[in-house]
Amino acid sequence: MAVHLYPRPRDYTRGTFKFTSTPYGNKPRREDLIATVRRGVTGTSMPRFNRISDKEVSAVVDYVMVLAQRGELEFQLAMEADASEELDPEYVPEFVEDVVNRWDSAKSSLTQPMTPQPELTAERAKLGRIAFLSKGCNKCHGDDGRGHTKDNIGKDSWGFTTRAADLTSGMLHGGQDPVDIYRRIMNGINGTPMPGFKNALQKEPETIWDLVAYVLEVSNRRRFGEKIPAGLMKPYDTAANAAVDQTDGE
């Protein structure tokens, strides 16, 4: 069914996972994959699996990890064979070790917020909006978080066109907890154009919490009855996009 779904289900074999608690570019921790299986990906066809036992979740996650690691190894061997025209079997164990090491080091690479979580007040959300506009979030996400901007288009590392989703949809793919949103902003999202802001906001770490407060406020607008023109931009649906872009005046 993959071709009919948007977003498409993940191809594990590239070893890239979006919703992680590790720094940008790192492998996910086992706990991250378990969290995704348990909570599902809201707003996509990935359901939540909260009725199956811990043992079964653990087993499927093991299998996903095997598929990812095997895929990465195959990809690297293919690149090596391509570059040197033949593959010397002597080097294969080195490649295996590389893959294993990357997954091993993710285990101890949990990122924590730079400052403890404050109360996410309306005041903070206001500061967050200012940061959202001044730090360039609006370039992709639009001033109102709906993502209706011309620059909001890119390629993901799986080769598909992608866009920043409508933050006002109330369906955050990477989890609704403040710390989940914090990690998306601090670490960026692997394989997508969403950059990490850890370095940019190192000197003002509280700003990340302001942004979290703003993202939460924006994502709850519909739930609280505010009427926001609907219309998620689907990259495959270019004619409809053009129409939305024009009426939007962005």
Which residues sit at the interface with ligand HEC, rule CB under 6 A?
Answer: 18, 132, 135-137, 139-141, 162-165, 172-174, 181, 184-185, 189, 192-195, 197, 211, 215
For ligand HEC, the closer of residues 87 and 153 by Cβ is 153
How far apart are CB 41 and ligand HEC at their closest, in Å? 8
Question: Which residue in this structure is represented by tokens 């989890």?
Answer: 175
* Encoded tokens for 35: 């969290």
Judge whether 12 and 64 are in contact, CB under 8 Å: yes
What distance lies between CA 120 and its chain's CA centroid?
22
How far apart are CB 185 and ligand HEC at their closest, in Å? 5
- Report the 10 Å Cβ neighbour count for 5: 11
How far apart are CB 19 and ligand HEC at their closest, in Å? 7
Rounded to whole angstroms, the Cα distance separating 1 from 249 reads 35
How far apart are CB 93 and ligand HEC at their closest, in Å? 35
How far apart are CB 73 and ligand HEC at their closest, in Å? 25
166 burial via Cβ count (<10 Å: 0-12, 13-18, 19+)? buried
For ligand HEC, the closer of residues 18 and 39 by Cβ is 18
For ligand HEC, the closer of residues 71 and 136 by Cβ is 136
* Encoded tokens for 27: 């492998």
Rounded to whole angstroms, the Cα distance separating 53 from 67 reads 21
For ligand HEC, the closer of residues 84 and 202 by Cβ is 202
For ligand HEC, the closer of residues 15 and 174 by Cβ is 174
